[in-house]
Amino acid sequence: MINTLNIKQLIIWLLFISAQILLAQNLVLYDRAFCFIYAGAILLLPLNISRNYLMVIAFFTGFIIDIFYNSLGTHMAATTFLAFVRPLWINAITPRGGYENVDSPAIKDISLSWFLAYSLPLVFLHLSVIFFIEAGGFHMFFFVLLKVIASTLLTVLVLVIIQYLFYSKGRYS
Amino acid sequence: MRRLFQFIYQYRAFFVFLMLELISGWLVVNHNDYISASYFNSSSALAGNIYNSKQSVQDYFQLKEVNQNLAQENEKLRNTLALSAPIVDSTEFFTPIYLSGQYEFTIAKVVNNSVSRFRNYFTLNKGSKNGIKEGMGVVNPNGIVGKIKSVSENFSTGYSALNGNLLISAVIAETETLCTANWDGKDPTKMTLKYVPRHVKVETGMDVVTSGFNALFPADVKIGEIETVVIEENATFYDITLHLSVDFQSLDYVYVIGNQLQQEKDSLEQTTFELIND
Asked whether residue B37 carries a pLDDT value surpassing 70, the answer given is no
Tell me which amino acid residue B96 is.
Answer: P
- Say yes or no to pLDDT of B233 above 90: no
Nearest to A76 among B24, B51, B185 (CB): B24
Chain A residues touching B50 at Cβ < 8 A: 21-22, 68
- Residue B187: pLDDT above 80? yes
Residue type, position A96, single letter? R
- How far is the C-alpha of B108 from the C-alpha of B256, rounded, in Å? 7
Give the mean pLDDT of chain B. 80
Q: Is residue A87 in some structural domain? A: yes
Residue among A74, A76, A80 minimizing CB distance to B17 = A80
Interface test with B, best of A31, A35, A70 (most B CBs within 10 A): A70
Q: Which residues contact B169 (CB under 8 A, 6 or more apart)?
A: B178, B180, B210, B211, B212, B213, B214, B216
For residue A126, pLDDT over 50 is answered with: yes
- Residues of chain A with pLDDT > 70, as a percent, come to 94
Distance CA B63, CA B78 (A): 22
The answer to whether residue B15 neighbours chain A at the CB level (below 8 Å) is: no
Any chain A CB within 8 A of the CB of B66? no
Interval B200-228: pLDDT, tens: 888 888 888 888 777 778 888 888 888 88
- pLDDT(B89) > 80: no
Q: Hey, which CATH number is domain B32-278, 3.90.470.10, 3.40.1170.10, 3.40.50.10490, 2.40.10.350?
A: 2.40.10.350
User: Which residue of B8, B19, B22, B24 to mutate against A (max A Cβ within 10 Å)?
Assistant: B24
- Does residue A29 sit in helix, strand or coil? strand
Cα-Cα end-to-end distance for chain A: 19
pLDDT category of residue B34 using cuts at 50, 70 and 90: very low
Give the residue numbers spanning the domain of A75: 4-166
Q: Does B53 touch chain A (CB under 8 A)?
A: no
Helices (H) and strands (E) in chain A, counts: 6, 2
pLDDT recorded at residue B83: 60
Residue type, A66: D
Q: Which residues of A touch B23 (CB under 8 A)?
A: 59, 76
The 3-state DSSP class for residue B117 equals coil
More confident residue, B111 or B79: B111
Minimum Cα–Cα distance from A82: chain B residue:
B17
Q: What's the structural domain count of chain A?
A: 1
| Distance, CA of A22 to CA of B26 (rounded, Å) | 28
Q: What is the pLDDT of residues A9-43, one digit of tens each?
A: 888 888 888 888 888 887 888 878 888 988 888 88
Banded pLDDT at A79 (limits 50, 70, 90): very high
Give yes or no for residue B238 having a pLDDT over 60.
Answer: yes
The ipTM is: 0.75
Residue A67 has its nearest CB partner, among B28, B41, B54, at: B41
Has residue B109 got a pLDDT over 80?
yes
Does this model's pTM top 0.90?
no
| Domain edges within chain B | 2-31, 32-278
Assigned domain for A38 exists: yes
**Is the CB of B24 less than 8 angstroms away from the CB of A135?**
no
- Cβ atoms within 10 Å, residue A72: 22
CB B223 within 8 A of CB B265: no
What mean pLDDT comes out for the span B122-146? 86
Distance between alpha carbon B207 and the CA centroid of its chain, in Å? 18
A139-157 confidence digits (pLDDT tens): 788 888 888 999 999 999 9
**Dihedral angle at the C-alpha atoms of B134, B140, B142, B145, nearest 10 degrees?**
-30
What counts of helices (H) and strands (E) characterise chain B? 4, 12
Q: Is the pLDDT of residue B35 over 70?
A: no
Count CB atoms within 10 A of the CB of residue B4. Answer: 8
CA distance to partner chain A, nearest, from residue B273 (Å): 32
